[in-house]
Amino acid sequence: MVENLNTSCFPTWCPGCGNFAIWAALKNAATQAGWDNANTALVAGIGCHGHLLNFTKITSFEGLHGRAIPVATGIKLANTDLNVFVITGDGDCLGEGGNHLIHSCRRNHDLTILLHDNGVYGLTTGQTSPVSPRGFKSKSTPFGNPDEPFRPLALAITAGATFAARGYAGDIPGLSQLIIKANNHKGLAIIDILQPCVTFNKEYTHQFYQENIYHLDEKYNPHDKMAALAKAWEWGPKQIPLGILYEEDRPTAESQISQIVPKPLVYEPPLRRDISELLKKYS
C-alpha cells in the first residue's frame, strides 16, 4: 500500500490552480489501487501540468512539449506489466502533440491519458490553445480568438479511443474513481479533465463549470458510439456532460504484437550480435 506519494518538492502552482486537485485525485487513486514506483510510470509533456511529476513519488519521465504520448508508448511496449499514465495539457496533447493523440487512439495503445484541460497555455503565460473558446482574448489573440475550439473527446472517439471520459478538478472523489476506471480499461483511455487556470483563463472558472456541468445518468449507454459523439460535442449553458461518455472492448496494440505477448520485452535477455565484420568493412 502506498503511504506517502509526496516528494520533498513543494508545489509551485498558483494558489487555487486546478492542478492541485488533479494531483490529489491521482494520489488517492494510486493509494486505493496500489500503484507505486515499481508498477507504474508517469510521463508528462511540458506545461504547468508537467510539474506534477516533480511532486509525486512515482517513477516518471518529463518529455519534450507535445511528445509525452510517444514516450509513454515506448515504455508500455517495453514493459506491458506497467500502468502507464500520460500527464498532458490541452496545448501539449491537442496542439503540438495532436498527431500523437490521433495515432495512439487509432492503434488503441494501453495507456491512460489525463488531459489537464485549462483552455490555455498556462506555463507560457496564457496564450490561446486549441480548446480556448472563440472570441477568447489573450496575449496571442488580443482581438479575440478567431478559431473554433476542438472538442477533445470527439476527436479521441473518432480517432479510435476505446475509453473516453470527462472529469472536473472540483470533484476530487469523482475524479479519483474515474482515474481508476480509466486505468482498469484495456486500451487507450482518455479523461478530459476540466481544470481551471485561475491566473490566465477568466472564462473557464470554477463558477463557470459549477453552473454548467452535469453528470450522465445511469440510463446513458456508453457503448453507443454515435450517442457518445453527440455527448462529446455538447458544450454550452448547463450542457457540459461529466462521466464515461464512451467505452468499447477492442484488442489493444500491445496484445497484437506477437513478440511481446508471451512476456514483456523488458524480461528478455539482451540480444548480442557480433558486428566486428561490419565495422571492419566500413572502417
Ligand X SMILES: Cc1ncc(C[n+]2csc(CCOP(=O)(O)OP(=O)(O)O)c2C)c(N)n1
The whole-angstrom separation of Cα 180 and Cα 232 is 21
From candidates 17, 60, 90, 191, binder to Mg ion by CB under 5 A: 90
From candidates 89, 97, 130, 152, binder to Mg ion by CB under 5 A: 89
Judged by CB under 6 A, which stretch of 12-20, 64-72, 185-193, 210-218 contacts ligand SF4? 12-20
Contacts (CB under 6 A) with ligand SF4, residues 40-69: 48
Strands 163-168 and 240-247: antiparallel
Under rule CB under 6 A, residue 129 binds ligand X: yes
Dump strand ranges (E) for 24-138.
40-44, 60-62, 83-89, 112-117, 120-121, 127-128
Which helix (H) or strand (E) element contains residue 30? helix 19-33
Nearest distance from C-beta of residue 275 to ligand SF4, angstroms = 48
C-alpha cell at 186: 484495456
Measured from the CB atom, the residue of 132 and 162 that comes closer to ligand X is 132
Under rule CB under 6 A, residue 48 binds ligand X: yes
Give the residue among 231, 196, 191, 233 at the shortest CA–CA distance from 215. 231
Strands 112-117 and 189-194: parallel
Contacts (CB under 6 A) with ligand SF4, residues 153-212: 197-200
The answer to whether 20 touches 48, Cβ cutoff 8 Å, is no
Q: Of Mg ion, ligand X, ligand SF4, none, which one does residue 69 interact with (CB within 5 to 8 Å by kind)?
A: none
Give the residue among 38, 144, 42, 50 at the shortest CA–CA distance from 92. 50
Under rule CB under 6 A, residue 13 binds ligand SF4: yes
Under rule CB under 6 A, residue 204 binds ligand X: no
Under rule CB under 5 A, residue 118 binds Mg ion: yes
Contacts (CB under 5 A) with Mg ion, residues 226-265: none
Under rule CB under 6 A, residue 129 binds ligand SF4: no
In single-letter form, the type of residue at position 278 comes to L
Strands 120-121 and 127-128: antiparallel
Nearest distance from C-beta of residue 38 to ligand SF4, angstroms = 30
Under rule CB under 6 A, residue 254 binds ligand X: no
Measured from the CB atom, the residue of 92 and 192 that comes closer to ligand X is 92
Measured from the CB atom, the residue of 13 and 55 that comes closer to ligand SF4 is 13
From candidates 5, 19, 104, 153, binder to ligand SF4 by CB under 6 A: 19
For the chain, state the CA radius of gyration: 20
Which helix (H) or strand (E) element contains residue 258? none
The whole-angstrom separation of Cα 65 and Cα 79 is 23
**Greatest Cα-to-Cα distance within the chain, rounded to the nearest angstrom:** 71
The footprint of Mg ion (CB under 5 A) covers 89-90, 118, 122
The footprint of ligand SF4 (CB under 6 A) covers 13-14, 17, 19, 48, 118, 122, 197-200
The footprint of ligand X (CB under 6 A) covers 46-49, 64-65, 89-92, 96, 116, 118, 120-124, 129
